């Protein structure tokens, strides 16, 4: 937001008052309880397709014996590799060597332990294991063409509670993700509406995902190496707008507890990296699925995985994903409300993905705190004291720090970043080269902006929780670039201001318009119904005197 001249738009404004379509329901309007991210264990990272009845039952027992069930890990998920061939009627058979007694006794064992059982399929014909692990029984094991039949078997006859639906087969066939996953969900609903569905399409699939799934993978497969974690976290940094109301961005099964002989890339994480990994999965509200062989789980990893204060961030009743509030040098600061919406308590992460030390200076005003702020280190279970103005910390390479902060007062927000906005047409499938997206821009505030906005009325950016304590008149200052021959429509609670003349170049500029906010949450949308809108960096709000 620095070094930008003010581009006067007074003459360029024309005020059109018409109503937008009804804004999406805001989180605050949802009073009903919803399930937190699932916690449990999954077979893929440690065993790949080499699973068996004995292995799954033993891992389920170990969840109980090691106190992991007690800590909240309730799902035992069987990944790729359980199937045999289909019979002449298309009925799925289980793998005779790996599961000689079929799948029901395995699900029953898990249920008897008071836990939930998960299973796996592919949205196409063939599973990923049949392609990448040469597991030929995975050919034809996908659910495509067998949706009702498999749903009855998995959730009716066998009684599974969760399913992960991969996409290797779907990819090969070039199927439509939205159509396939919606159709599968409908088949499952006919058997059991409570089944938790996970979409495994290795990218944010689109805003339709929340209508069919509890969680969706946002990245390719993880392995036990810092660069892999950094990649997964990087893919999720700007997706907080899509999590909520019991639906979550899935950062993949965790790689905590692996030691050098592991199958996950043959690597292992340092204790500091493991702590950053776990804390980030917690504060970003990812499902927490342990991926290692519990038989060999080191004590220090067990202690981390059962850290109550970190788990509480993940299972918090508000169900929110932390968003990036600061990105300076190599460091990121993430924050989210916990316990109470817009209360005085927030969870904060300082995250240093880089290979060198990183110094953080986080102003309390940017975290919306006034007065003194009490700070607690959640990983170390230690109160750090009470601070004024800012929190300073230097972190080593590949690390993160997780804090609970409690301020004397909570301030009204003044800055809304484009990279935190909800984009209804956003997906990360890579099929549309000009699809709306969050983009790096080193001149932008937070070094991020939104581009490919507009062109149709549905392609907008929306901030659903623009908060004003008392309501009234504000000056909204919009920071943008690429205004050349473009226009911008700004809707505040449905009242649209159309800005016809923007700075006629691709540089960064700002413009101001007066807006009227009501007390509480307001919905702001930016876009352009007929032409490209400029790239949006952020907007600020200043109360008019």
Q: Which residues are catalytically annotated?
A: 166, 221
Nearer to ligand GLA, 200 or 349 (CB): 200
Nearer to ligand GLA, 46 or 405 (CB): 46
Task: Give the single-character DSSP code of 182.
Answer: H
Q: How far is the CB of 228 from ligand GLA (least distance, A)?
A: 13
Nearer to ligand GLA, 51 or 241 (CB): 51
Q: CB burial class (10 A; 0-12, 13-18, 19+) of residue 385? A: exposed
Nearest CA to 523 out of 486, 479, 491 is that of: 491
Q: CB burial class (10 A; 0-12, 13-18, 19+) of residue 125? A: buried
For ligand GLA, the binding residues (CB under 6 A) are 44, 79-80, 127-129, 166, 200, 202, 221
User: Which residues, in sequence order, are CB contacts of 452 under 8 Å at separation 6+?
Assistant: 434, 435, 436, 437, 459, 532
CA–CA gap between residue 9 and residue 45 (Å, rounded) = 56
What tokens appear for 507 in the block?
């540089």
Q: How far is the CB of 65 from ligand GLA (least distance, A)?
A: 26
Q: How far is the CB of 400 from ligand GLA (least distance, A)?
A: 24
CA–CA gap between residue 446 and residue 417 (Å, rounded) = 8
Nearer to ligand GLA, 80 or 147 (CB): 80
CA–CA gap between residue 244 and residue 80 (Å, rounded) = 28
Nearer to ligand GLA, 224 or 488 (CB): 224
User: Which residues, in sequence order, are CB contacts of 421 under 8 Å at separation 6+?
Assistant: 241, 450, 461, 462, 463, 526, 536
Q: How far is the CB of 216 from ligand GLA (least distance, A)?
A: 12
Q: Which residue is nearest to ligand GLA (CB)?
A: 128
Nearer to ligand GLA, 78 or 538 (CB): 78
Q: How far is the CB of 137 from ligand GLA (least distance, A)?
A: 12
What tokens appear for 159 in the block?
């009684």
CA–CA gap between residue 67 and residue 130 (Å, rounded) = 35
Q: How far is the CB of 394 from ligand GLA (least distance, A)?
A: 36
CA–CA gap between residue 428 and residue 204 (Å, rounded) = 5
């Amino acid at each position: 937001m620095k070094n930008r001249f003010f581009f006067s738009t007074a003459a360029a404004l024309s005020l059109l008052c018409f109503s937008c379509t009804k804004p999406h329901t805001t989180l605050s309007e949802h009073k009903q309880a919803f399930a937190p991210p699932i916690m449990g264990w999954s077979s893929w990272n440690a065993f790949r397709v080499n699973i068996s009845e004995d292995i799954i039952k033993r891992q389920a027992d170990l969840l109980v014996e090691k106190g992991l069930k007690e800590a909240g890990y309730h799902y035992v998920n069987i990944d790729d590799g359980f199937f045999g061939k289909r019979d002449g009627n298309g009925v799925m058979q289980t793998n005779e060597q790996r599961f000689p007694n079929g799948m029901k006794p395995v699900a029953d064992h898990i249920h008897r332990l008071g836990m939930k059982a998960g299973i796996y399929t592919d949205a196409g014909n063939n599973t990923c294991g049949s392609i990448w692990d040469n597991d030929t029984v995975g050919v034809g094991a996908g659910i495509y063409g067998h949706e009702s039949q498999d749903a009855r078997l998995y959730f009716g006859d066998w009684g599974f509670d969760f399913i992960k639906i991969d996409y290797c087969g779907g990819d090969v066939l070039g199927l439509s993700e939205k159509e396939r996953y919606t159709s599968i969900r409908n088949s499952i609903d006919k058997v059991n509406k409570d089944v938790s569905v996970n979409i495994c399409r290795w990218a944010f699939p689109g805003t339709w995902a929340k209508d069919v799934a509890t969680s969706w993978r946002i990245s390719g497969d993880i392995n036990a190496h810092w660069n892999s974690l950094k990649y997964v976290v990087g893919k999720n940094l700007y997706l907080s707008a899509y999590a909520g109301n019991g639906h979550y961005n899935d950062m993949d099964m965790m790689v905590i507890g692996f030691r050098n002989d592991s199958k996950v890339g043959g690597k292992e994480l340092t204790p500091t990296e493991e702590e950053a990994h776990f804390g980030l999965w917690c504060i970003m509200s990812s499902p927490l699925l342990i991926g290692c062989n519990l038989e060999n789980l080191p004590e220090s990893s067990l202690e981390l995985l059962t850290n109550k204060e970190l788990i509480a961030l993940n299972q918090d009743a508000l169900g929110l994903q932390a968003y990036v509030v600061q990105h300076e040098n190599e460091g990121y600061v993430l924050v989210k409300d916990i316990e109470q919406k817009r209360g005085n308590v927030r969870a904060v992460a300082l995250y240093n993905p880089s290979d060198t030390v990183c110094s953080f200076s986080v102003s309390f005003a940017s975290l919306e705190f006034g007065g003194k702020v009490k700070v607690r280190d959640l990983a170390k279970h230690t109160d750090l004291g009470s601070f004024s103005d800012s929190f300073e910390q230097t972190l080593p390479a590949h690390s993160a720090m997780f804090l609970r902060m409690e301020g004397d007062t909570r301030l009204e927000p003044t800055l809304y970043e484009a990279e935190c906005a909800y984009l209804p047409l956003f997906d990360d499938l890579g099929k549309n080269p000009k699809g709306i997206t969050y983009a790096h821009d080193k001149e932008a505030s937070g070094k991020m902006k939104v581009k490919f906005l507009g062109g149709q009325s549905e392609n907008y950016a929306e901030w659903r929780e623009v908060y004003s304590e008392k309501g009234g008149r504000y000056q909204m200052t919009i920071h943008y670039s690429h205004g050349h021959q473009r226009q911008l429509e700004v809707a505040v609670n449905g009242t649209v201001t159309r800005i016809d003349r923007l700075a006629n170049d691709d540089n960064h500029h700002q413009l101001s318009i007066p807006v009227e906010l009501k007390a509480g949450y307001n919905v702001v949308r930016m876009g352009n119904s007929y032409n490209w809108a400029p790239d949006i960096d952020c907007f600020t709000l200043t109360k008019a005197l």
